Structure 1
Amino acid sequence: MLVLENVREKKSCLVWMSAALFISISLFLPGGYSVGASLILLLSFLVPFISKKERLDKVDLILISSFLIYSFGMLLLVFLDGGSIRDFDKASRFVLAILPLILFLNATLHKILLFLSFFVSSLGALFVSFFDRFYLGLERAGGDFNPIMFGGFSLMIAVICLNFALYYYNNNNKMFFLSVFSFLAGLSASILSVSKGGWLALPIVIAFLIWNYHQILSKAFYLKSLISILVMVALIFAVPSIGVKKRINALISDVAMLLEGDRQETSVSHRTELWKASFIMFKSSPVFGIGKSNQDTFKQSLVDQDVVHKSTLKFNQAHNEYLNELGLRGILGLFLLLNVYLVPLGLFLRKIRKYSDNPNIKVFAIAGALVPICYMVFALTQAMFTHNSGVIMYAFTIVILWAATRWAEREERELGNIA
């Protein structure tokens, strides 16, 4: 019996090491997110061999169902569009994430591995951003990613580290300061990407975190945090080489030109023209959309009629996830997108409410909720799911943090801390 228990423990450690590796190298190594996800999938075949099996709960099945609904709904839309199975490639990642979910639910959680993986991920993102900006001399940090995606992922990892900092605020000074440093590292990486669209998420997630931790935060903490934020903002704007002041000034100038009717090409004008085109696509076919295969032809016709600017032809997505789905896949596409955002978010929020007085469970539920919250804000200026990295980072991070929440719940029940 002891031998079997040791084997099971080693398997569990290996499983959570794979999760930690996925998170740790996702932003640091080229294709790291793909390598990490592949390793997790490979280990998923261990599921039948883990002797202690945990029964899937109703809430687990709801999460699995949301992934299946998205995947097979997208498969239907690909079929209706006359596309090939290759067009189902990205949506299929949600199906592939289901077996790893079962794997993690059957492997005892190693909390410290999970915590440290987010810290390492933030530090890796900071290293990449410094390498890109100050060694290679690039205008925007991005590593192996599009700078917009890199900036968004770095910010998401950063705010999850901030969540851990608040968890450790009153009970572990070393982990608290490590978490704060990791938050600043990830935030700095996002700033160096100069991807201003992702920064919209920062005030929202900070408000969300304050709401969930306000019972333990003192007035002194708020004052110190406010002073720190003001100093950081001042430093960011005071150092021209960072590029934030330049980008903010450019944004203000671009908006002013747009309001004056100037059709000069800017990032703002590109997005507004793309959004206009997507809305016209939606009106043309509101239920199923015009289909991805018809996108270029449809936009060309709009350009020929001088309805939208020719710059729209440069892009294969609308730089807005919601409008992109409405235009290409109609109301059904938007429903599928909201399903895969809101169902996981709702499940995590339910755990947060249920265990509001139990920080050991709540910390993982809050971390999980931050993923769809960030993505829903990022989606306002970028179609995240048009990138393999966007789909894999979302699906696999959700799965890992959901399994961590469920394991924390089981541990607290075994300790008698919850009913």
Structure 2
Amino acid sequence: MYPELEVWPVFESRLRVFVSWVTIAAMGSYLVFYVLTAWAYDMGPAILLLMALVALIFGWSSLRTRVDRESWLLIATLFGYFLLQALLLMMHGEGLSEFDLSTRYLGASLVLMFLLMVPVRANTFFFAVGLGGALTGGFALYRWGLGGAARLQSFDNPIHYGNGALALSCLSLAGLAWASRQRYRFLWNVLFLCGLAGGLVASFLSGTRSGWVAIPLIVPVILFAYRDRILDKKWLIPIILAALGLLVAVMVSVDVVRERTIIAGQQVEGYFEEGVNHTSVGLRLDMYKAGLAAFSENPLIGIGPSGIETKVDAMAGSGEVHQNVARYRHLHNQYIDNMARYGLVGLVSYLALLLVPFFLFLKKARHGSPAVRAVGLAGALFLMLHGAVNLTQSMLERNIGVMMFLFVVVFVWGTLKAEERADEGAPDAHSV
């Protein structure tokens, strides 16, 4: 009787499809070009944040039905880190520019809410991860074939390139677990093996030692997640051990890996026995010394970013640490960095930022659904890697490091919840 009223459902349906495809493009571009181009880690999240702001304005009522307690806990962790860091910066009297990185945590929490409203499934996520790892490895081999720099990198320094590549490798490894239950598992396995190998190759050729520490920790996480399947198929145990042994053999055979491992040992010995502090390791150890000295001045809330700069300059001037330490903007250890800047409050907040999502993902890595289980493993492996890397890096003190950390966590959790709803037969189970 009123045909014009039938137009809105059609428009709404097409709008949903459009929003879904834009979401896929934004997430996919981020993961595929994760460490290859400068625009990837900003462009995709920016598009998603813009859509999130619009969606939350018009769809707040529907959001409450899509966000469960676990998701609220993760959102509260991200939002809480933003609030706490902003409060501490105000207490230290820092300028507005110091608040810039903190806003990323607020943006990530909003994007996570949006992804719970517009879910993206595991096939999309893992395809982008595998392709990203394969392209990263191809780029590394291409640059290595051309010769030139001893340590490979893309648009940024070798540290972000190597650790980002290793992250793609870990996510591709989880993709192999997901592919085992898929229809075209042979093709999926080929893609993820290329992603896994590509990420490892790029990491090794970058010479970035910080991520290599995390490699042995992968096995316990996998054993925890899949111990029932491994025990049921005992022939998997020698295969896992052989694969680990092969990986170690490959690492030792790569000149960059072998040389930088030997150099690191020599530099540690030189620092403690002869006081040699001008080396890469020596400078880091002096940074830790300065950071702990700053922490001791105000153990509760630290001395703030400006306070650290003043403290490091003073210690460098007096010869307590090498003068080159004053050239760096952070302390190359996120734990000590947070302690120096924000005291015990900062350390606890950073541990919460790592451990809350880690245990949420680890719990899902034991889920009954194979897809949820694989995505949970992906999140747990990524956070384990990040926690290990930040023993010798301060990844969250630069925009690229914050963006490369936050939005992987957000994308993995959004994908996990999409699979969980699909397993429960929820109305949005058909989402792409």
Task: Answer whether TM exceeds 0.5 for this pair.
Answer: yes
Letter of the aligned partner of 2:223 in structure 1?
A: I
Distance 1:177 1:132, change over 3 A: closer
Residue 49 of structure 1, CA deviation: 6.0
Cα 1:135–1:41 change in 2 (3 A) is farther
Q: Deviations over 1:291-313 (max 9, x none)?
A: 21122321232234433232322
- Counterpart of 1:204 in structure 2: which amino acid? L
The one-letter code sitting in structure 2 at the alignment partner of 1:402 is W
Alignment of 1:165 onto 2:192: no
Residue 367 of structure 1 corresponds to 378
CA distance in 1, matches of 2:165, 2:249: 21
Percent identity for Structure 1 against Structure 2: 24
Match of 1:178 among 172, 191, 194: 191
Note if 1:331 corresponds to 2:339. no
Q: 2:337–2:394: 8 Å Cα contact kept in structure 1?
A: yes
Of residues 206, 209, 212 in structure 1, which corresponds to 2:219?
A: 206
8 Å Cα contact 2:137-2:197 kept in structure 1: no
- Partner letter of residue 31 of structure 1? W
- Please tell me the residue identity of whatever aligns with 1:175: W
Distance 2:303 2:127 in 1: 45
1:256 and 1:106, CA in 2 relative to 1: closer, same or farther beyond 3 A? same
Alignment of 1:44-193 (within 5 A): 44-47=52-55, 53-54=62-63, 55=65, 56-135=67-146, 137-169=148-180, 172-193=185-206
Distance (whole Å) between structure 1 residues aligned to residue 70 and residue 254 of structure 2: 48
Residues 1:383 and 2:394 aligned together:
yes
1:284 has 2:293 as partner: no
Residue ranges of structure 1 left out of the alignment (5+ in a row): none
AA aligned opposite 2:146 = Y
SS in 1 for 2:424: helix
CA distance in 2, matches of 1:98, 1:289: 26
Question: Shift of the alpha carbon at 1:5?
Answer: 3.9
1:261 equivalent to 2:274? Answer yes
Distance in 2 (CA, whole Å) between partners of 1:304 and 1:123 is 47
- Map Cα deviations across residues 257-309 of structure 1 (whole Å, 9 max, x no partner): 22322425211111111111111111111112122112232123223443323
Contact map agreement 1:24 1:117 (CA 8 A) in 2: yes
Query: Residues 30 and 305 (structure 1 numbering): CA distance in 2 closer, same or farther, change over 3 Å?
Result: closer
Partner Cα separation in structure 1 for residue 422 and residue 253 of structure 2? 48
CA distance change for structure 1 residues 411 and 26 in 2, over 3 Å: closer, same or farther? same
In structure 2, the gaps of 5 or more residues are: 1-5, 428-432
Please tell me whether the aligned partners of residues 121 and 418 of structure 2 are also in contact (alpha carbons under 8 angstroms): no
Over aligned residues, Cα RMSD in angstroms?
2.4
Shift in alpha-carbon separation, 1:365–1:225, aligned structure 2, 3 A: closer
SS of 1:53's equivalent? Answer: helix
Structure 2 equivalent of residue 234 of structure 1: 249
Helix, strand or coil at the partner of 1:197: helix
1:250 aligns with 263
CA contact (8 A) 1:320 1:379 kept: yes
* Residue 28 of structure 1: aligned partner: 36
Deviation at 1:393, TM superposition (A): 1.7
Aligned length: 412
Taking structure 1 as reference, are residues 138 and 332 closer, same or farther at Cα in structure 2, changes over 3 Å only?
A: same
**1:221 equivalent in alignment to 2:236:** yes
Q: In structure 2, what is the equivalent of residue 396 of structure 1?
A: 407
Describe the superposition over 1:28-84 as per-residue Cα deviations: whole angstroms up to 9, x where unpaired. 223321122222223324525679935222222211111111111111121122212
Write the deviation string for residues 307-352 of structure 1: whole angstroms up to 9, x where unpaired.
Answer: 3232322222111000011112211211221121122223223333
Match of 1:346 in 2: 359
The answer on whether the counterparts of 1:128 and 1:141 sit within 8 Å (CA) in structure 2 is no
Q: Which deviates more, 288-297 or 124-133?
A: 124-133
Paired with 1:134 and 1:30, the residues of 2 have a C-alpha distance of: 23
Distance 1:378 1:100 in 2: 25
